[in-house]
Amino acid sequence: MPRSLHADYLLSFIFNINTHATLSSSLLPIIMPGLTIGDTIPDLEAETTQGKINLHHFCSNSWTILFSHPGDFTPVCTTELGKMAEYAKEFNQRGVKLLGLSCDDIQSHNEWIKDIEAFTPGCKVSYPIMSDPKREIIKKLNMVDPDEKDSSGNNLPSRALHIVGPDLQVKLSFLYPATTGRNMDEVVRVVESLQKASKFKIATPANWKPGDPAVIQPSVTDQQAKDMFPQGFETKDLPSGKNYLRFTKV
């Protein structure tokens, strides 16, 4: 069943139940689908360390990395935002915007930035960080950690990351536990993979790194491949005799 139809079916199911009985709100996060690959990000407004933004306006016509963190003044998050600042030039060269998110308020963010920059000498946090004290944005962006809670019992953001395309759709998502920091080289790698796949009829194989050969998509015939990839391609001989594993440089 297509995902949109599946979502409509679930919503219809929920409303039908409500006509006969009250549905516990604790069940809704389990039943209702969350933001995932292929979905359009919600059109919302948020306060950030660089002023108020509209998410669609901020992300339109460029690639964007949305990344959330459990909280300000926490050790793993401080190292991650420092690395994001260090790699900002790499992302900028690829036409990628950065947008962070934590539930703490703007004043807390601004104080925390001093620690982040002190921990990462020579690097400035040039990207905005959203504030979400009411936990409304993390729910809409599917960035809620069901297990991690603050001292008041409120859910904290997960260590999530969405890569959003110029069409405002989620192209890739990472989800890490609070105890594991993200690898920025991997973020750069998948950005390059996504951008190349959006430009050429290719996919990137296991352990691919920028500069390595990519594989030509199976839907492309050999004749089409000759036209699309004038630099040539190599077809691997396989026991099946099927010529589907074709490598080329892009």
The pLDDT, as a whole number, for residue 242 is 95
Radius of gyration of the chain (CA): 21
pLDDT at 239: 98
Identify the CA nearest to 191 among candidates 204, 181, 201: 204
Query: Which pLDDT belongs to residue 113?
Result: 98
Residues with catalytic annotation? 77
- In angstroms, the CA 249 to CA 43 distance is 38
Higher local confidence (pLDDT), 77 or 25:
77
Least confident range of 40-54, 146-160, 170-184, 209-223: 146-160
pLDDT of residue 179: 86
- Percentage of residues of the chain with pLDDT beyond 70: 85
Domains of the chain, residue spans: 39-182, 200-249
Over residues 18-76, the pLDDT tens digits come to 444 333 333 333 333 479 999 999 999 999 999 999 999 999 999 999 999 988 999 99
What pLDDT sits at residue 154?
73
39-182 and 200-249 share one fold: no
Element (H, E) at 156: strand 155-157
The per-residue pLDDT of the chain, averaged, comes to 87
CB 103, CB 156: distance < 8 Å: yes
Best CATH choice for the domain 200-249 from the list 3.40.1110.10, 3.30.1360.170, 3.30.1020.10, 1.10.150.120? 3.30.1020.10
How many Å separate Cα 182 from the centre of its chain?
12
pLDDT reported for residue 25: 38
Q: How many residues would you count in the chain?
A: 250
Among the residue ranges 1-5, 11-15, 34-38, the one predicted with the least confidence is 11-15
- Which fold would CATH assign to domain 39-182? Glutaredoxin (3.40.30)
How far, in Å, CA of 90 to CA of 84, rounded?
10
Q: What is the pLDDT of residue 151?
A: 67
